[in-house]
Amino acid sequence: MLSNILTRKQPSTLVCIQDSLEQSGLHLLRAFAQHAVDRKESHVHILCYEHPTIKMKTGLRNSSEDHVHFHDCFTDHRGWIDSQEKENIRSDVHTKGNSILSVLQTSPVTSTNDCIIIIDSLTPLIYNIGFTRCYRELHSLLVKSTNGLTVSQVICLIHEDTLPDVHVALPQLCHLATTTVKIGSHTQSSRGNPTASIIHKKQGGKILRQVEYYSIDADNRLKSEILTLVTPTVAGVNEDENQLPEDLTTFKLSLGQQEKEARSQLVLPYLRINSEKGGKVFYQPDAADDWDEEDPDDDLDI
């Protein structure tokens, strides 16, 4: 399912990738970004809040093409260098804080085509402008067309272990997102690959849930497979039960070929041999029979 969401066979407007220190989701985000770049159908805006843009640029192939736009929100993440007035900085008014909307509005994009927005991590933004404002901005990106831009998809990364008020904020973010991908570290059955538990809300209101493991190669291509839980302990016990412990006894516990044949030819009592006809009741009247002439169901109103 992860690859269906990546290739947009399952359309999703807001994909939220949750990762933690244990397992980074940056590679998955890069795979999403690479796919958006390679499709060339719409403009791709990559907002770098957490890393310098160069890190994302070098990680992606064909990143210098025209339809790919990088926005550096990292070096001047509170807008202090830009504003220059020290008064503003101290009182914290008028600093843009590099909110998603202000970044996108200042970007010189003439095309009115739909665009894909990739945010390398929401966490610094939440630190700067607060969760409520961040939530509102994400929502307004999805609902309204901002400054001539119509957003067809937003893909964002969030570190759940660094989020303030995580037990409040994370469910709210999942409420807004159409797809939530929670990255987990590798388990026994994922063959060393990171796992992703996906909750996807379909257009009609149906919910898809799946746990998959994925791998991303050097070209940022994603391979994902459904995680099947292997429970070795249970399987082991079953095998033991089915095997007869022949070497433990002096008895003969198994059957030979002849013995099996003999067993199959044995007609068991009460075995129905010819079942092609319906049943028949053979009754021989007996002298001691006590016939009841009355209808036993007489009192019923049939």
Partner 1 sequence: MAVQQTSFQKKTKSRIPYIPGSRPSIKNTQLLVSSGVPSFDCVIGGGIPVGTLVLIEEDKYGTYAKLLVRYFLAEGIACGHSLFVASQDLNCEALVRELPAPVHHDDAAPTSELDDKMTIAWRYQNMREIQSFSSNTSFGHHYDLTKSVDPDILRTIDTCYWTGPIECRQAEGRFKNPAYYDLLCTIQRKIEEGQFGVEASPEKRNMLRIAVHSLGSPLWAEQTHQKSDLPIFLYCLRSLLRSAYAACVLTLPSHLFQETWVIKRCQHLCDTAVRLESFAGSEKETNPVYRDYHGLFHINKLSAINTLMPHVPESFDLAFRLRRKKFSIEKLHLPPELQGTTQREQDELPSVAGVSCGGAGTRNLLDF
Binding site residues, partner 1, CB under 8 A: 130, 132-133, 135-136, 139, 143, 167-168, 171-172, 175-176, 199, 201, 205-207, 209, 240, 245, 248-249, 302
168 vs 235, beta carbon nearer partner 1: 168
Q: Is 11 exposed, middle or buried (0-12, 13-18, 19+ CB in 10 A)?
A: middle
Q: Report the distance separating Cα 11 and Cα 153, nearest Å.
A: 9
Residue 189 identity (one-letter amino acid): S
Tell me how far, at minimum, the Cβ of 253 lies from partner 1, in Å.
Answer: 9
Residue 198 CB, shortest distance to partner 1, in Å, is 11
Phi first, then psi, for residue 263 (nearest 5°) are -70, -35
Cβ 110 to partner 1, closest distance in Å?
Answer: 27
Smaller CB separation from partner 1, 287 or 300: 300
User: Cβ of residue 238: shortest distance to partner 1, in angstroms?
Assistant: 13
| Comparison of 94 and 139: residue with beta carbon closer to partner 1 | 139
**117 or 126: whose CB is closer to partner 1?**
126
Nearer to partner 1, 60 or 138 (CB): 138
Q: Closest CB to partner 1 among 167 and 280? A: 167
CB of 90 to partner 1, least distance (A): 20
Give the burial string for 67-104 (b: 16+ CB within 10 Å, else e).
bbbbbbbbeebbbbeebeeeeebeeeeebbbbbbbebb
Q: What tokens were used for 15? A: 């994909």
Rounded CA-CA distance 2/187 in Å is 18
- DSSP characters for 116-173? EEEES-SHHHHHHH-HHHHHHHHHHHHHSPBTTBEEEEEEEEEETTS-TTHHHHHHHH
To the nearest whole angstrom, how small is the minimum distance from the Cβ of residue 270 to partner 1?
Answer: 21
Q: How far apart are the first and last CA of the chain?
A: 59
Cα–Cα nearest to 151, from 16, 48, 45: 45
